[in-house]
Structure 1
Amino acid sequence: MVKPIKRFGQNFLKDNNILRKITEVINPQKNDKIIEIGPGEGALTKLLSNSGADVTAIEIDKRVIEHLKETYPEVKIINKDFLEIDLTQFGSSDLRIVGNIPYNITSSIIFKLIENYNLIRDAVFMVQYEVAKRMTAKKGTKDYGILSVLLNYFSETEFCFKVSPNVFYPKPKVFSAVVKIKFKKNTDEALNKVFIQIVKAAFGNRRKTLKNSLSNSIFAQLNFSGCGVDLSLRAEQLDLPDFIKLAEFARENFSYQ
């Protein structure tokens, strides 16, 4: 086994039972186009490949590339940072993205998927437990924020199961969890950009009212008084239809000049 590198956020999963459970959540089928992020030495890669799926593994660590190529000749191995990959190169609008992803870039990976949601069917990730709670949080809870709202808008996100630190090498200081993100295909393309901006603006000053948060954002010049949402509430008190109302109001009344 190669020595895990901290800057790559490497914690290798070594428990066959957990690997089997993750594979069951993914449920890979023959000819599925699967992209695995950070395969490491290929523990999950083996199970994915055995399903007959078309697997591409994207690995930043040069040390394991030859091992992966020799062990899994049927898998396409790309030695690159996933965040620098152009997903359109895979020529599909039905990609499946999976992996035990580096916890230090989890949010960046999720935002990349959201930007490319129209290319992706679903994603199954092992993430830090605290992040999993934020991804699936409900209105009014302390974990409810930008990640929860954006994922709720672009997808259906499911908390699958919690994972102990004991199944990794090296053992992380935190618990992990497996989540599944199933992307919606029917979002309003023209609304998506302004929706993301509204959500980020609304949570920009989390403890302030919506009115104050929006007035400290790029929407400072826009009077939201006719938007149909109570501006004395805080962002964490709004549900998805409220954010959609705000975004639709901004789209109709806000000038980006």
Structure 2
Amino acid sequence: MNYSQNFLVDDNIISKILSHVTHLRPIIEVGCGKGNLSRKLNPDLCLELDSTLLPFLRNYNPVHGDARKLPIFRGQIVSSLPYSITFDFFNEVMKVNRITRLLLILQEDFIDKIFGYPTFLSFVLNYYFSINKLMVIPPTAFRPIPRVFSALASFDRKREYDKNITEVIRCISRFRNKTLKKAARLCGFSSDYEKRVREFKPWQVIELLNLLDLNYV
């Protein structure tokens, strides 16, 4: 199976990433590849989907597993995630309250959309996490060289998972081109606000919820 992996190989970039890792344990590296980051991170556990790479990770407690079905329940995750699984990964990890910090390498445009583009995922991530874009990583830091820039971002949990509020955000997001008044009615709530859902920035999610008279903080 081809996993379309791009391995981080730039030692200078790796050192900068490590400077953002906190003392929170356990540290779980997801998608460890050939261990280029693992050798300096020294994670408590390495989760890797590609079984052919597990021999490279024998010193870091490798576990053959999928980031979309996390076999972990607490700690700090450090990872370079394939773009193709980001939605499924976040949909899983936001439910695990004791995973309190994520330090992730993602496509730069994906991180920018989390801040500026109103979708279910961007709203819900801003609800559950404090998000900071820490640095941009050029394509030349990887092998093979990808076509896009990446960025390092931290996600620090600020709220525990709430299934009900997640479903409210999911429903409202489906009607992003409608006014909040109309979207609220379609989702079984009420609001007199005529601003369109798409006009809310993702970091304004609490304001949006409070305009539905849900009074979330």
Q: If the length of structure 1 is used for normalisation, what is the TM-score?
A: 0.75
Find the counterpart in structure 1 of residue 21 from structure 2. 26
Alignment of 1:133-172 (within 5 A): 133-135=112-114, 137=115, 141=116, 143-172=117-146
Find the counterpart in structure 2 of residue 180 from structure 1. 154
> Aligned with 1:153: secondary structure?
helix
Report the CA distance between 1:62 and its aligned residue.
1.1
Find the counterpart in structure 2 of residue 255 from structure 1. none
Which of the residues 167, 170, 175 maps onto 1:200?
Answer: 170
Q: Deviations over 1:86-123 (max 9, x none)?
A: 323xxxx4x0001111111112112211111x111201
Determine the C-alpha separation between the residues in 1 that align with 2:213 and 2:40: 44
1:244 aligns with 2:209: yes
Verify the 8 A CA contact 1:58 1:79 in the aligned structure 2: yes
Report the CA distance between 1:246 and its aligned residue.
5.3
Q: Deviations over 1:60-105 (max 9, x none)?
A: 1111112211xx2xx21101112223323xxxx4x00011111111
Which of the residues 7, 10, 14 maps onto 1:15?
Answer: 10
- Give 5+ residue unaligned stretches, structure 1: 252-257
Q: Which amino acid counterpart does residue 236 of structure 1 have in structure 2?
A: R
**CA, structure 1 residues 248+26, in 2 after alignment: closer, same or farther (shift >3 Å)?**
farther
Q: Which amino acid counterpart does residue 144 of structure 1 have in structure 2?
A: P
Q: If the length of structure 2 is used for normalisation, what is the TM-score?
A: 0.87
Q: Which amino acid counterpart does residue 79 of structure 1 have in structure 2?
A: H
Aligned residues: 213
Alignment of 1:1-257 (within 5 A): 7-27=2-22, 29=23, 32-49=25-42, 55-69=44-58, 72=59, 75-88=60-73, 93=74, 95-116=75-96, 118-135=97-114, 137=115, 141=116, 143-185=117-159, 187=160, 192-216=162-186, 219=187, 222-225=188-191, 230=193, 232-238=194-200, 239-245=204-210, 249=214
- Give 5+ residue unaligned stretches, structure 2: none
Report the CA distance between 1:244 and its aligned residue.
3.0
- Report which of the two has the higher share of helix: 1
Report the CA distance between 1:199 and its aligned residue.
1.6
Report the CA distance between 1:247 and its aligned residue.
6.2
**CA, structure 1 residues 126+197, in 2 after alignment: closer, same or farther (shift >3 Å)?**
same
**CA, structure 1 residues 115+246, in 2 after alignment: closer, same or farther (shift >3 Å)?**
farther
Structure of larger gyration radius: 1
What do you get for the CA RMSD once the two structures are aligned? 2.3
Determine the C-alpha separation between the residues in 2 that align with 1:167 and 1:62: 24
Percent of aligned pairs with the same amino acid = 25
